[in-house]
Structure 1
Amino acid sequence: MSAALTPEIESLKSSLEAQGVKYALASYVDIHGISKAKMVPLAHLGQMMQGSELFTGAALDGVPQDISDEEVAAMPDPKSATVLPWNPEIAWFASDLYLESRPFEACCRTILKNMLAQAAEMGFTFNLGIETEFFIFKENSDGSFGPVSDRDILAKPCYDLGGLLDNYPFLTELVGMMNGLGWDVYSFDHEDANGQFETDFAYADALTMSDRLTFFRLMVKELARKHGYFASFMPKPFSNRTGSGAHYNMSLADRSTGKNLFEDPADLRGCKLSKLGYQFIAGILRHAKAICAVTCPTVNSYKRLIRKGSDSGFTWAPVYICYGNNNRTNMLRIPLAGGRVECRAADIATNPYLGAAMILAAGLEGIRDGLDPGKPHTENMYTYSLAELETMGIDLLPRTLQDAIAAFDADPLSTTVMGPLMQKTYTDFKRQEWEEYHTHISDWEIKRYLKFF
């Protein structure tokens, strides 16, 4: 028997029925930020919204439960209802995980909501825009893969119009879907690697943006499959090409008026950023290494964070813990118009809920402690030697996942944000990921050593 519907859910159900929706997805994410779900006939929407869909946490990556524990329940957020553009018979709901009728402490979305509540107590709304870089590939008959376009072979393919037009059927359908959802795409292009693209769309509050990035990755994968391709959100598929970032564009707004509190046209440092914005930056720089473990969460992520790694001559990814003006060689960049801060370290494999929670917590700490990040760097940071950087007091981001997790584990901020259970779960899971990689025998080792010694 279906549960009695509240007026809000009754109205939502009627709206979905009018759109031809037949099923609803109670969806949440695992430790990777990847959607998991159960599908429910729309007739049972009421009970789904009350947490009827249960999940065995032990069957999932990074959900810290034993098989003997009570199941977690997905509690959908009605405001997140999204009809699948590629299958309008299904509606997707971002959900929080509950355990025994209370929020589950290791739920990624709840962790972000807890940090947003702290920001709200300080009078702030955390706004976030995430730039989405990704690869679209086709599989070849010999088992290899490559760009969809046969002419997407330039040594410097960034902004290549031919590659963009050859992928137009896929891209225009994707952008149409995004705009149909009200995301307001304002630009898309061919990026700096073959088969790589970027879409840019309007910012939103951090919870909405995290929900959208989660849905975006699902949508791109499904749409690519429809076209006979596959999408990759691997941070760096090729050693000689640039990787895929997910730059976090951040600002704080007054919770009552909506005014951007990072804007200051009279800024004496020349970045059009407010004192509050500089304090936010200083907090992020203080905890940059621990944040990196979450915004750059894979072994592969650290093959993107290098000084030079592309045939085009640039890495486009930062390796130094510093900030600057409209200068892409810093970890934190203040774009020309000011009023926001861009973290360039984050990559497209990030779990946006955990990444946003960590970076917000660090920024709020900078505000509470009245920190100052010093003068902005306007120069090309890659021209300095390591010795010069050390003299300047500029440290490097972690070089490997192992280093990043060590910093994450040692930094009290990680426990403050995630709680003891999720902090330990994340640390243990990522250390195991590193160990599995470290003990794997690669093709590079076979070619280099098998007949050498």
Structure 2
Amino acid sequence: MVDDETGPDVRDLVALLDAQDVVGVTLGWVDNNGIVRARTVPLAELPAVARRGVGATTAVSVFDSHDGITFAHDGLSTPAGDLRLIPVVDGPRSIVPLAGQPGFAWVPARLRTADGDPWPYEPRDVLERQVRRAAEAGFEVRAGFEIEMYVARDDDGATAAHRGPAYSANALRDVDEFARQLLVDLAANGLSIGQLHAEYGAAQLEIALSPLDALAACDAQVLARQTIHAAARRHGLRVSFAPVATVEGVGNGWHLHTSLTRDGANALTGDGPHGLSDVGRGYLAGLLRELPGLVGVTAPSTGSLVRRRPGYWAGAYGFWGVENREAVLRLVPSSDLLGAGHTNVELKASDASANPYLALAVVIAAGLRGIADGAEPPEPIQEDVGTWDAERLDAAGIALLATTHEEQRAHLLASDLVRGVLGEELLGAFVAVRDADAAWALDHTPEEIVESLRWLY
């Protein structure tokens, strides 16, 4: 039960924000489409909001990508009901004054019932459970997102902001002012990145967020979206993180890198094959084993299915490799130059239409299960399997990951791991939303599907 005495005392924080000319605080929450929904409250209301939250409809968990509301999930089958969106305030850095939006600050939030009790559809709670499970097994989770984006000079996305070549200084120079603004604003908002560069796709850029603990990594990913959009707007540009921003384009991934530490050391690093420990082999094998259900959470949308094509470094086939960028699971090993702490596993089939908290939660769970089972991965594949014929693929036990909604839905519902991580209620809502999106797509062309998703992310 929430009352006036419950919740953090944020009066000192309010004074600090007021001194920085903040007038409004935006509470951000990510739905089952990966869309960031939000409420903004006046700064003076923050002490009350920190205790009691602000109202939100229970239907937020069954919004589809087109702002339709599906009532196909029995648990949320009517428009009746109210929730409280409560800011996650756990220290002086919890609320970030936004460098690109003067007067506003940002804070992640979570949904609670009207009585303040846990809400079974809350993504942050799902991730927190898996972080606790990892801790019980003796591990801390580290994660980081590589964020690809399409940058355009007009609202229809037709005018590319840079002309390439891929990875070149010429391409980045076309957006120099935006790139500078982005570096300044990211740093001001407390976001650390490893690099910024022009990517392979037309008008595509990428930033690599520095690794953090699991919850902080997801919070950083969400804040990075807000920061990037604001910096682009300041320079007359528009940014799309959508899995496919143009029909002919390569698409945008939000590649998810994860590792485990134990006693301050990288637990994946060892003296076994490919520099992996027993833990590292089990972790990798667990991810590989759970891929069909996993990618239904990490790359779940109609746009994800369009993006996931062989030859596009989008993780179309279910295999792993060492530094193989066509593999859906890419092992990034340690080296003498990088150090023993560098080992991590990159999931390619991950994009902005995924809820980052849910995506990371199922990845952690899959890895932990593989460790617990002592699972062993097969030998890595260092080729582009998209060039193989069907006989060779079959002999290697390699198959395409889902290419249709029906396949992906079946894999989601068949995965006991995904069901256990999300819970029956959330899985039901998640699948209902995917079904609603797929039903919408049936009546629209690929061009219309891409256009409908372009500016959602």
Please give the range of the TM-score, normalised by the shorter of the 2 chains.
0.7 to 0.9
Residue 282 of structure 2 corresponds to which residue in structure 1? Answer: 279
The within-5 A match list for 1:90-169 is 90-99=104-113, 100-139=115-154, 145-149=158-162, 152=163, 157-169=165-177
CA contact (8 A) 1:56 1:67 kept: no
The within-5 A match list for 1:71-90 is 71-79=82-90, 80-90=94-104
Q: Is residue 353 of structure 1 aligned with residue 364 of structure 2?
A: no
Q: Is residue 260 of structure 1 aligned with residue 257 of structure 2?
A: no
1:300-334 deviation line (CA, Å, top 9, x unaligned): 212221123xxxxxx12222211121211221111
The within-5 A match list for 1:99-248 is 99=113, 100-139=115-154, 145-149=158-162, 152=163, 157-248=165-256
Looking at structure 1, the residues matched to 367 and 29 of structure 2 have their Cα atoms a distance apart, in angstroms, of: 26
CA contact (8 A) 1:56 1:71 kept: yes
Looking at structure 2, the residues matched to 40 and 124 of structure 1 have their Cα atoms a distance apart, in angstroms, of: 38
Q: CA deviation at 1:241?
A: 3.0
Looking at structure 1, the residues matched to 285 and 181 of structure 2 have their Cα atoms a distance apart, in angstroms, of: 41
CA contact (8 A) 1:402 1:431 kept: no
Looking at structure 1, the residues matched to 380 and 437 of structure 2 have their Cα atoms a distance apart, in angstroms, of: 36
Q: Is residue 341 of structure 1 aligned with residue 356 of structure 2?
A: no
- AA aligned opposite 2:148: E
Q: Secondary structure at the match of 1:327?
A: coil
Q: Secondary structure at the match of 1:282?
A: helix
1:185-219 deviation line (CA, Å, top 9, x unaligned): 22111111111100113110111111111122222
Q: Is residue 34 of structure 1 aligned with residue 31 of structure 2?
A: no
**Residue from 299, 304, 320 that aligns with 1:323:** 320
Residue 447 of structure 1 corresponds to which residue in structure 2? Answer: none
CA contact (8 A) 2:247 2:447 kept: no
Looking at structure 1, the residues matched to 304 and 157 of structure 2 have their Cα atoms a distance apart, in angstroms, of: 22
Q: CA deviation at 1:119?
A: 1.4
Q: TM-score under structure 1 normalisation?
A: 0.88
Q: CA deviation at 1:70?
A: 3.1
Residue 14 of structure 1 corresponds to which residue in structure 2? Answer: 15
Looking at structure 2, the residues matched to 427 and 5 of structure 1 have their Cα atoms a distance apart, in angstroms, of: 35
Looking at structure 1, the residues matched to 281 and 332 of structure 2 have their Cα atoms a distance apart, in angstroms, of: 14
Structure 2: state its 5+ residue gaps. Answer: 70-74, 335-341, 449-457
Q: Report how many residues are paired.
A: 425
Q: 1:103 to 1:20 in 2, by over 3 A?
A: same
- AA aligned opposite 2:352: I
Q: Secondary structure at the match of 1:350?
A: coil
Looking at structure 2, the residues matched to 274 and 401 of structure 1 have their Cα atoms a distance apart, in angstroms, of: 37
Q: CA deviation at 1:441?
A: 5.1
Residue 448 of structure 1 corresponds to which residue in structure 2? Answer: none
Q: CA deviation at 1:442?
A: 5.9
1:373-427 deviation line (CA, Å, top 9, x unaligned): 1222233333322221111112221112331121001111222011111101111
- AA aligned opposite 1:203: P
1:249-280 deviation line (CA, Å, top 9, x unaligned): 100112xx33221122x23x1x2222111111
Q: 1:57 to 1:6 in 2, by over 3 A?
A: closer
Q: Secondary structure at the match of 1:428?
A: helix
Looking at structure 2, the residues matched to 116 and 442 of structure 1 have their Cα atoms a distance apart, in angstroms, of: 38
Looking at structure 2, the residues matched to 398 and 214 of structure 1 have their Cα atoms a distance apart, in angstroms, of: 27
Deviates more, 1:9-18 or 1:384-393: 9-18
Residue 399 of structure 2 corresponds to which residue in structure 1? Answer: 395
Q: Secondary structure at the match of 2:275?
A: coil
Q: Secondary structure at the match of 1:397?
A: coil
Q: CA deviation at 1:113?
A: 1.4
Q: Percent identity?
A: 28
- AA aligned opposite 1:21: V
Q: 1:190 to 1:68 in 2, by over 3 A?
A: closer
**Which fold has the larger relative contact order, with Cα–Cα distance below 8 Å and residues 6 or more apart in sequence?**
2
Residue 81 of structure 2 corresponds to which residue in structure 1? Answer: 70
Looking at structure 2, the residues matched to 229 and 185 of structure 1 have their Cα atoms a distance apart, in angstroms, of: 21
Looking at structure 2, the residues matched to 70 and 442 of structure 1 have their Cα atoms a distance apart, in angstroms, of: 36
CA contact (8 A) 1:34 1:214 kept: no
Structure 1 stretches of 4+ moved >6 Å: 4-7
Deviates more, 1:431-440 or 1:287-296: 431-440
Deviates more, 1:165-174 or 1:222-231: 222-231
1:18-50 deviation line (CA, Å, top 9, x unaligned): 322222222212212222222222222221111
Looking at structure 2, the residues matched to 244 and 389 of structure 1 have their Cα atoms a distance apart, in angstroms, of: 26
Q: 1:171 to 1:441 in 2, by over 3 A?
A: closer
- AA aligned opposite 2:411: A
CA contact (8 A) 1:119 1:125 kept: yes
CA contact (8 A) 1:129 1:202 kept: yes
Looking at structure 2, the residues matched to 385 and 332 of structure 1 have their Cα atoms a distance apart, in angstroms, of: 21
Q: TM-score under structure 2 normalisation?
A: 0.87
Looking at structure 2, the residues matched to 384 and 274 of structure 1 have their Cα atoms a distance apart, in angstroms, of: 31
CA contact (8 A) 1:26 1:76 kept: yes
Looking at structure 1, the residues matched to 5 and 325 of structure 2 have their Cα atoms a distance apart, in angstroms, of: 54
- AA aligned opposite 1:411: S
What is the RMSD of the two structures over their aligned residues, measured on CA atoms?
2.3
Structure 1: state its 5+ residue gaps. Answer: 309-314, 445-453
CA contact (8 A) 1:26 1:53 kept: no
CA contact (8 A) 2:333 2:343 kept: no
